[in-house]
């Protein structure tokens, strides 16, 4: 999952005035005296999938750019406001890996206090496309999975553990 939204907001994004503080919905929040804008610290929705193949492998992506390079991620990305989470997962996976996928179910929703992302993770399988060699994504057998990370987000490890339990017949 990408950026962390930790930059403090000092100016009103609606009118440019310096923000004050006001108590809104039970919390002190950045507030604009000029236009009434309130900055809610809402979370972003990330949508992706645990994609597996017929050989019992899982699709993971090793990031290649920036300070997150080397981290292992699930394919996916941020939801745009004009699409469903399913659309976002399919779109981001194709953009990132070149693979077209079919979603077969919802694996789970992952959130934690303080984390600016809510992860919506589906189960899925490949229906078309070609895995782009430059994407950093590849199918890994259980013996190849980097079980100790480094992971790009805590939910990646949680999803991999779910997959591992399911493969070994445990109660997911």
Distances (CA, A) of 65 to 24, 71, 172: 39, 10, 34
CB distance 140 to 57 below 8 Å: yes
Residue selected from 9, 35, 38, 167 as contacting Zn ion according to rule CB under 5 A: 35
How many residues touch Zn ion under the rule CB under 5 A: the total is 8
Report in angstroms how near the CB of residue 38 gets to Zn ion at its nearest: 10
CB distance 30 to 148 below 8 Å: no
Please say which residue, 33 or 53, places its beta carbon nearer to Zn ion: 33
In 3D space, the residue among 155, 157, 82, 98 whose CA is nearest the CA of residue 121 turns out to be: 155
Please say which residue, 14 or 131, places its beta carbon nearer to Zn ion: 14
69 binds Zn ion (CB under 5 A): no
To the nearest 10°, the Cα dihedral for 158, 163, 166, 172?
20
Scanning 10-18, 63-71, 79-87, 135-143 for contacts with Zn ion by CB under 5 A, the matching segment is 10-18
Scanning 33-41, 50-58, 76-84, 124-132 for contacts with Zn ion by CB under 5 A, the matching segment is 33-41
Report in angstroms how near the CB of residue 30 gets to Zn ion at its nearest: 10
9 binds Zn ion (CB under 5 A): no
In 3D space, the residue among 57, 172, 156 whose CA is nearest the CA of residue 110 turns out to be: 156
Scanning 34-42, 44-52, 88-96, 156-164 for contacts with Zn ion by CB under 5 A, the matching segment is 34-42
In 3D space, the residue among 66, 59, 169 whose CA is nearest the CA of residue 122 turns out to be: 59
Please say which residue, 12 or 89, places its beta carbon nearer to Zn ion: 12
37 binds Zn ion (CB under 5 A): yes
Contacts (CB under 5 A) with Zn ion, residues 11-30: 12, 14-15, 17
Start-to-end CA distance of the chain, whole Å, equals 24
Residues in contact with Zn ion by CB under 5 A are 12, 14-15, 17, 32, 34-35, 37
């Amino acid at each position: 999952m990408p950026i962390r939204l930790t930059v403090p907001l000092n100016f009103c994004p609606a009118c440019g005035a310096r923000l004050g503080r006001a108590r809104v919905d039970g919390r002190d929040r950045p507030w604009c005296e000029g236009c009434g804008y309130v900055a809610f610290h809402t979370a972003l929705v990330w949508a992706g999938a645990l994609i597996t193949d017929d050989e019992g492998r899982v699709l993971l992506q090793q990031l290649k750019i920036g300070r997150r390079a080397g981290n292992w991620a699930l394919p996916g990305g941020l939801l745009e406001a004009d699409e469903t989470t399913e659309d976002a997962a399919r779109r981001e996976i194709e953009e990132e890996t070149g693979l077209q996928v079919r979603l077969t179910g919802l694996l789970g929703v992952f959130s934690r206090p303080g984390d600016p992302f809510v992860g919506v993770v589906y189960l899925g399988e490949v229906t078309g496309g070609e895995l782009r060699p430059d994407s950093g994504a590849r199918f890994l057998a259980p013996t190849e999975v980097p079980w100790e990370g480094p992971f790009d987000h805590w939910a990646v490890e949680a999803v991999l553990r779910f997959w591992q339990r399911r493969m070994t017949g445990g109660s997911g």
